């Protein structure tokens, strides 16, 4: 779909809007024609948000985003930021960043997979691109070597397919080229992004479907939806075809060969790609002699066997696919449909409310609203309907682990499946190496009074004895290291922040906001201390390993881990394995101790004594 539009007689439409696959930002102008055209075409698919940034309307020049998130400059006001948060879908992250080159749209160009950045942007902005915009392969984006096939593999556009085909035709790019950090191939990227056409193209040019990355995963292991089904079917069909080929060579040669692949809209014929024409004929010659004296096989019998084999294959495919995806219980489907119908009915009722009444109803639900007018009230009506109909999630709900590192994901699954043997060796070598190094090399005069600590949200933990490792990890919102009363300083700082909320609102970090939110809800904050009486460098390593295992996107930590001395040469695999081991040790300690939460009254009492 393409539209011819103008913004108040200007052809620079990209200056006044920011369009992604999940939302569209439109600058506020004196004329409503531009906004009306976009709303008429896009409102049924994505939210069209009327907004300004720092009071100006060139939203396309000062913001950068994709379907995963949105970055706005530090000059964005709190009211504008709140309005964007309320209008964007729940899956879209938003962050205000302090960047010297504040026209983010001029210095950063990105899509859902890749970012091209100005050479002078800060490291914090680069990290925000990875954390907020969900760039999957961050090392490739800023690497010196252009892994072009990897960059193109995530795009579903015809232009990307044409470019990839040209590179493969030229012979300069290998379809099995590996990216050095995670040892992934272009097929891994295409499969992870559910890009079926690119998967078919790469396989046609010889991509190895059994290639394994640094975590020993094949493309089928990271694939999603259609790509997973295609790769599973490809693996099964190749095995089935080989067995038939060896058993009935005469019948196979008598069948017509598949027609040559024809490319329409950059899609490769599936029959051509899944037929194994590369089998070595010498393997067949040895079998022909064995089968010469055998009677000829009845064609009807062969067709019947084919149908049975295909039915069995489809059944195995369905079982394997269901293992990797959460399937909606049929008993829950009518209830979900009923919820949707109720929400639609409530939206019709709420459309008759006045703006003040609508805002009051939302405030009763503890929902903070931004600027509300006739143009964006539909967003708030839908939000109110969802709050009225859908119950809040309980603490016992299954927590997703997809945002953690692969090592921690595997560790959690092994704990849940009681495969303790698979976890016994993970991180143990690093633990022994670290302990021996600091025991033997630390001078006696150096201070060894440091420890690590975790700040935990008790609302995400069950009070029963059935607390899972998965829930424990999800409840951690800050990892730190220090000595004496360092963990308590965070809580004291949060308590004092209430007094500076009006004068210095920027001092409220995500960590402090999380602490205050828990206190406002009547919950406490659990401060759990680990690994006492260790050297400062060792505390840095242990803290950093736990941060890397969980990921900064799942924590309120601003800075990533530091790895001095012996850990400076560790690979990411070693770091995440060590971090997963430390987190499991913390989980075992927590099950035995069950630390008491600290409330704001406790902090004020202790602060008064000091």
pLDDT classification of 282: cutoffs 50, 70, 90:
very low
Pairing type for strands 108-110 and 115-117 reads antiparallel
- Higher per-residue confidence, 569 vs 392: 569
Provide the residue count of the chain: 610
- Whether the per-residue pLDDT at 109 is higher than 80: the answer is yes
Please say whether the beta carbons of 543 and 453 come within 8 A: no
pLDDT classification of 288: cutoffs 50, 70, 90:
very low
- Whether the per-residue pLDDT at 442 is higher than 90: the answer is no
**What's the CA gap between 185 and 206, in Å, rounded?**
12
- Whether the per-residue pLDDT at 542 is higher than 90: the answer is yes
> Which has the minimum average pLDDT: 305-314, 563-572, 600-609?
305-314
* Domain segments of the chain as ranges: 13-135, 139-289+304-321, 333-389, 406-609
CATH architecture of the domain formed by 13-135: 5-stranded Propeller (3.75)
pLDDT of residue 106: 83
pLDDT of residue 392: 43
Element (H, E) at 505: none
pLDDT of residue 364: 64
pLDDT classification of 187: cutoffs 50, 70, 90:
very high
Place of tokens 């692969």: 406
pLDDT of residue 453: 93
- Whether the per-residue pLDDT at 217 is higher than 90: the answer is no
pLDDT of residue 241: 56
Number of helices (H), then strands (E), belonging to the chain: the values are 29, 11
pLDDT of residue 577: 92
- Whether the per-residue pLDDT at 374 is higher than 90: the answer is no
CATH architecture of the domain formed by 139-289+304-321: Alpha Horseshoe (1.25)
pLDDT of residue 463: 64
* Tokens at 85, concatenated: 């948060």
Please say whether the beta carbons of 59 and 27 come within 8 A: yes
- Whether the per-residue pLDDT at 582 is higher than 90: the answer is yes
Tens digits of residue pLDDT in 8-47: 777 778 888 999 989 999 988 756 778 888 888 888 889 9
Nearest to 586 by CA among 410, 453, 434, 477: 453
pLDDT of residue 1: 65
pLDDT of residue 584: 92
**b/e per residue 135-168 (b: at least 16 CB within 10 A):** bbbeebbeeeeebbbbbbbbbbeeebbebbbebb
pLDDT classification of 476: cutoffs 50, 70, 90:
very high
Please say whether the beta carbons of 547 and 557 come within 8 A: yes
What is the average per-residue pLDDT within 550-574? 87
- Whether the per-residue pLDDT at 393 is higher than 50: the answer is no
- Whether the per-residue pLDDT at 427 is higher than 80: the answer is yes
* Tokens at 402, concatenated: 């997809």
pLDDT of residue 477: 93
Strand partners, 108: 117
What is the average per-residue pLDDT within 214-234? 85
**What's the CA gap between 292 and 583, in Å, rounded?**
63
DSSP code per residue over 113-175: S-EEE-TT--HHHHHHHHHHS--S-HHHHT-SS--HHHHHHT--SHHHHHHHHHHHHHTSS-T
**What's the CA gap between 217 and 224, in Å, rounded?**
14
């Amino acid at each position: 779909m393409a539209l011819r539009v103008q913004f108040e007689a200007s052809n620079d439409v990209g200056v006044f809007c920011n369009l992604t696959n999940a939302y569209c930002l439109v600058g506020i102008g004196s004329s409503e024609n531009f906004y009306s055209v976009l709303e008429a075409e896009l409102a049924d698919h994505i939210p069209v948000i009327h907004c300004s940034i720092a009071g100006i309307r060139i939203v396309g020049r000062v913001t950068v985003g994709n379907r995963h998130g949105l970055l706005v400059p530090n000059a964005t006001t709190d009211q504008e930021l709140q309005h964007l948060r309320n209008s964007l879908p729940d899956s879209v992250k938003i962050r205000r960043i302090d960047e010297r080159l504040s026209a983010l749209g001029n210095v950063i160009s990105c899509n859902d997979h890749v970012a091209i950045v100005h050479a002078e942007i800060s490291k914090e902005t680069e990290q925000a691109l990875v954390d907020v915009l969900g760039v999957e392969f961050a090392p490739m984006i800023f690497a010196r070597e252009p892994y072009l096939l990897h960059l193109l593999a995530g795009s579903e556009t015809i232009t990307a397919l044409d470019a990839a085909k040209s590179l493969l035709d030229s012979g300069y790019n290998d379809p099995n080229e590996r990216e050095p950090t995670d040892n992934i191939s272009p097929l891994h990227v295409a499969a992870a992004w559910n890009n079926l056409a690119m998967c078919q193209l790469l396989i046609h040019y010889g991509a190895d479907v059994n290639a394994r990355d640094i975590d020993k995963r094949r493309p089928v292991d990271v694939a999603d939806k259609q790509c997973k089904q295609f790769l599973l079917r490809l693996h099964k069909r190749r095995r089935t075809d080989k067995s038939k080929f060896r058993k009935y060579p005469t019948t196979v040669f008598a069948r017509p060969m598949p027609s040559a692949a024809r490319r329409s809209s950059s899609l490769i014929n599936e029959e051509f790609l899944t037929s194994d024409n590369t089998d070595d004929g010498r393997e067949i010659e040895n079998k022909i002699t064995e089968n010469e004296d055998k009677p000829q096989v009845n064609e009807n019998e062969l067709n019947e066997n084919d149908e049975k084999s295909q039915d069995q294959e489809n059944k195995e495919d369905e079982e394997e696919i269901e293992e990797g995806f959460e399937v909606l219980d049929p008993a829950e489907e009518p209830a979900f449909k009923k919820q949707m119908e109720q929400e639609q009915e409530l939206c019709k009722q709420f459309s008759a409310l006045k703006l003040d009444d609508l805002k009051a109803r939302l405030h009763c639900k503890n929902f903070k609203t931004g600027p509300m007018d006739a143009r964006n009230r539909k967003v708030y009506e839908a939000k109110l309907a969802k709050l009225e109909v859908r119950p809040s999630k309980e603490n016992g709900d299954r927590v997703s682990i997809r945002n953690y590192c692969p090592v921690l994901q595997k560790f959690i699954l092994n704990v849940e499946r009681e495969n303790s043997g698979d976890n016994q060796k993970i991180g143990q070598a690093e633990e022994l190496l670290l302990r021996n190094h600091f025991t033997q090399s630390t001078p006696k005069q150096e201070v060894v009074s440091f420890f690590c600590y975790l700040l935990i949200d008790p609302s995400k933990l069950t009070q029963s004895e059935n607390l899972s490792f998965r829930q424990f990890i999800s409840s951690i919102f800050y990892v730190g290291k220090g000595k004496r009363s360092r963990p308590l300083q965070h809580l004291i700082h949060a308590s004092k922040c209430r007094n500076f909320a009006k004068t210095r609102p920027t001092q409220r970090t995500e960590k402090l906001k999380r602490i205050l939110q828990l206190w406002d809800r009547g919950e406490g904050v659990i401060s759990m201390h680990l690994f006492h009486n260790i050297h400062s460098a060792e505390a840095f390593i242990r803290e950093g390993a736990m941060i890397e295992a969980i990921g900064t996107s799942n924590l309120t930590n601003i800075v990533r881990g530091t790895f001095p001395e012996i850990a400076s040469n560790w690979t990411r695999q070693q770091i995440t394995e060590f971090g997963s081991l430390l987190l499991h040790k913390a989980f075992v300690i927590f099950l035995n101790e069950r630390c008491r939460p600290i409330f704001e009254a406790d902090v004020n009492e202790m602060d008064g004594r000091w």
